[in-house]
Structure 1
Amino acid sequence: MDVNYYLDIRVIESSGDTDLKLGHIRNQIYTVIHGAFRKLPAHYALALEISDKLKARQEQFVQKHGRSAKPNFDILRIFAEKQDELDELIEAIKGHWKIRDYTVLGVAIPVPTAKISGWKSYRRFRIPTRKAERTQLSEHNEPLRDRRLKTARDKPFFQVRSQSTGQGFTVIVDILDSENAGPGFPDSYGLARKESPFALPVF
């Protein structure tokens, strides 16, 4: 996927800054964005970033508690090949009250190619259901589902509600370092698939 432009959407917490409130609002914002992604699939790719404000808060947490803060993010960075694709996305979501009240909605900006310092691939991390559980066991006879549940604890995620069925589900994101952009295209969540890998620039 060619990523020539990007758009930053920063999630704003309500009064009383807590990670729980940030996560709750972020989930709702992502549900709105995912709905727009579905109307134009394979056009938008999602990266997760952290603002200077949240980064400073996490550093304060480390100083106060002597341990790392749980991984968190408050910026949804969306990439596209063309500027008008991001402009179309902005038009589709800017009227939603959650976007108006709880985000700082940016504009489409060219990717600063001279500042690219690496590449990261954002993929959906899947946990098999008990029914679909594979028989693969670790050396300690631990089922694959249990191993993946443990691994998922330290990964960013969204709790999304389907606009068509009303059912809730979790989208866990696996972030991998990559050597280049790759040839793949994003799914309706803005994420790379195993069979269609791609990566996004870090700058």
Structure 2
Amino acid sequence: MQPNYYLDIRILDSADDGELTLTHLRNQIYSIVHGVFRKMPEKFALALETSPRQQRKMQVKEAKYNYPITQNYDVLRIFATEQNDLDQLIESIKGHWKIRDYAVLNHPIAVPMAKVTGWRSYFRFRIPTLKSERNVAEKAESRRARRLKEAKQLPYFKVISQSTEQNFTVTIQMVNATEHIQGKPDGYGLARKSQPFTLPVFEA
């Protein structure tokens, strides 16, 4: 796909209780968006951004506690080749009460190529299972432990499997690039290792 147009969904976090943290709301809103991704495969690519409001909140926390705060992403930036696809996405999700109460939907607009400062790929960060490498258990355990440690520093979504109805985690790895590469997104809106693609980086 060619990322010609984009839509920002800004998540409105609240500190009221555990059910309204930014991470929790991001998971819930992504689940709603992911449902449309499944119905319209390979139409949308996902990027994560931090709004100026969230950046200010992080700066306040860093000054208060005197240690770096892990980047917290409150914007789901969704790219598509055609504006009409993003219009359909909005029509599909705007009536959901979680979208109405805890998100701000911007209108789809063309990517401002003059403001693009770089390119970035978003991959699913996979953690190997011990079962998959049973013959080299010690080596597998070491690699798995290292990947689990890395994953703790990365953003993630909690997703419910359509086939088993079990919860699982989709951890996101971001890789900066120097040029635009075209490819087809997977069912999560992410790039595949076998077919990477890049999305433009810019300030909205």
Asked if these proteins are the same fold (TM beyond 0.5), I'd say yes
Deviations 1:144-177 (A, max 9, x none): 1111101111111111223453211101000000
Aligned match of 2:120: 120
Deviation at 1:183, TM superposition (A): 2.5
Contact 1:136 1:144 in 2 (8 A): no
Deviation at 1:64, TM superposition (A): 1.2
Rounded Cα–Cα distance in structure 2 between residues aligned with 1:20 and 1:85:
30
Aligned match of 2:82: 82
30 and 173 in structure 1: CA distance in 2 versus 1, 3 angstrom threshold: same
- For normalisation by structure 2, the TM-score amounts to 0.91
| Runs of 4+ with deviation above 4 angstroms | 17-20
Root-mean-square deviation (Å):
2.1
Contact 2:128 2:144 in 1 (8 A): yes
**Within-5 A mapping of 1:158-177:** 158-177=157-176
Deviation at 1:112, TM superposition (A): 0.2
Deviation at 1:189, TM superposition (A): 0.4
Looking at secondary structure, tell me which structure has more helix per residue. Answer: 2
Contact 1:133 1:145 in 2 (8 A): no
Rounded Cα–Cα distance in structure 2 between residues aligned with 1:162 and 1:90:
23
104 and 20 in structure 1: CA distance in 2 versus 1, 3 angstrom threshold: closer
Rounded Cα–Cα distance in structure 2 between residues aligned with 1:198 and 1:36:
21
Deviation at 1:23, TM superposition (A): 0.7
Q: Which runs of 5+ in 1 are unaligned?
A: none
45 and 108 in structure 1: CA distance in 2 versus 1, 3 angstrom threshold: same
- Identity, % of aligned positions: 53
For 1:40, give the aligned amino acid: M
Q: Which runs of 5+ in 2 are unaligned?
A: none
Deviation at 1:131, TM superposition (A): 1.3
**Within-5 A mapping of 1:16-31:** 16=16, 21-31=21-31
Secondary structure at 1:132 match in 2: helix
